[in-house]
Structure 1
Amino acid sequence: MTEHLNKGTLIVIAGPTAVGKTSFAIQVAQHFNTEIISCDSRQLFKELNIGVARPSEDELQTVKHHFIASHSIFEEYNAGNYETEVNSLLEKLFLKHKVVVMTGGTGLYIKAAIEGLDPLPPKNKALREELNALLNASGIEALQQKANSLNLVITKENASNPQRLIRAIEIAMQEPSTTLQNKVSRNYNTFCFYLDRDREELYRRINTRVDSMLEEGLEEEARTLHAHKDLNALQTVGYKEFFEYFDGNWSKEKCIEKIKQNTRNYAKRQLTWFRNQGNFVKINTSVEELLNHIPS
């Protein structure tokens, strides 16, 4: 493995929520005596803790983590910001570590970090004001009709999120400022893995995690954020369901049931994404197995 490590190696440990990424990444990081970069688009927000399963204080002290509680939900943040910041950090980390571990379940952030993103057109203030006026006057259904008229493929989740709808329409109605790019070339080696478990076991782990979150005070945490429920960062499983409960739309029982259901569905989508990438190797939580996949 010497030749690869001389260049600097990023080991990506991905997988669905509740699969056990954090504890395994810590084992791998301890093996290499290195640090961990989180690639979770919600754990980076300091206002979110219980609902995003932020690593415990003991875990954070065992191995140094980056991009945990590092930003605010009141800041605008996206995969492009992450790409820039994480690669700037990697340049510094590779000066003192031959290997760095990245872990999380946000596929877009991983892709941005290691491959780069196709450029998007800049925000158009006038168009955004026009679309917000349409939203205020005619409701989200008007935005959905606008998206359909542009032949946009919108997921069910995004179709109910006005901010994401507006951005999708905004992008579709503008000409890209540059042509699409190929994958960027990074000056480090990357090896990508994803963890998986038996479906029933994974779902049990998800249900148990949600129960633990409730015991730890998820409802109280969500209540402190309720006033900001329209922020993009809070369109997140575990919070948005409680907002429905706080608004009187759901019973508490339905809210909890929906958190578990939506988390299971999210895990299923994550697994599908990682399986379809082509460059992610499925492994169990064995450091030895992971090392066997890294060429010597």
Structure 2
Amino acid sequence: MDIILSEAIRIAKLAGTKIKELREAKQYTESVKDGYELVTTADLVSNDIIKAEIYKVFCNHEILSEEDNGNKNQSLQQPTWIIDPIDGTVGYANDHYQVAVSIAYAVDCKVRYGVVYNPFLDEMYYASENSGAFLNGNKISVKDVSELKSCVIGTGFPHRKDDIQEIISRLGRVLPHIRDLRRLGSPALDICWVACGRMQGFYEGKLSPWDVAAAKLIAIEAGAEVGYYKKEDNYPVLECINGNNIIVSSPKVFDELKHILA
């Protein structure tokens, strides 16, 4: 296994084990950042672990993290790690099990490796470019479905509720055309669930690069179709980390889902 992928897996496991220990021992506190978004001290501990472990091995690489107030360089020209120390913080703080550590590696403006680890279920999703996607060492692929009405679709809702009417309207358009809806609270896991066939599609309006960088690669390598129901012209984010208005689905239902959402 490539050293970058093996290190990403090792580091995700290390950080995941720590946040699981902190929650089981109730050794974390909660606060709110930017006036609306929940953050815990476990997020910050995980962030510190991941960064320290990366720098031990790759001291000259750049890091793009949700929990860093400093460098937010998204050019990805140089070797860059894109990390979400806890994806699904609200779920984490409420004893839910759908919580993940997300780590992606990019260079030359493209994500090359992706790892998403759920420590509460001990599920490690990972992929490297052009090499397939895996869950705990077993190759995974999307579920082969041909009609949206037979599909379970995932979605998520933003921390800010500025466009709540649009979100409700979109949900109202989708629900009559699908079998059921799920909301895990972790977009990285939502996308990985599409990759392994547990859901057949996922959409959401406003996601950050660290929410999707690793999971998008995993889904693509598992055979998913990835695109957008509304493309914003001149949006200054590279395709591989763009989470705005994202759709990830089994290929045969992508166009139908996109049409309904758009």
Higher strand share: 2
Higher helix share: 1
Q: What TM-score comes out, normalization by structure 2 length? A: 0.24
Question: Could you say which structure has the greater relative contact order, defined with CA pairs below 8 angstroms and 6 or more residues apart?
Answer: 1
User: If you compute each CA radius of gyration, which structure gives the higher value, 1 or 2?
Assistant: 1
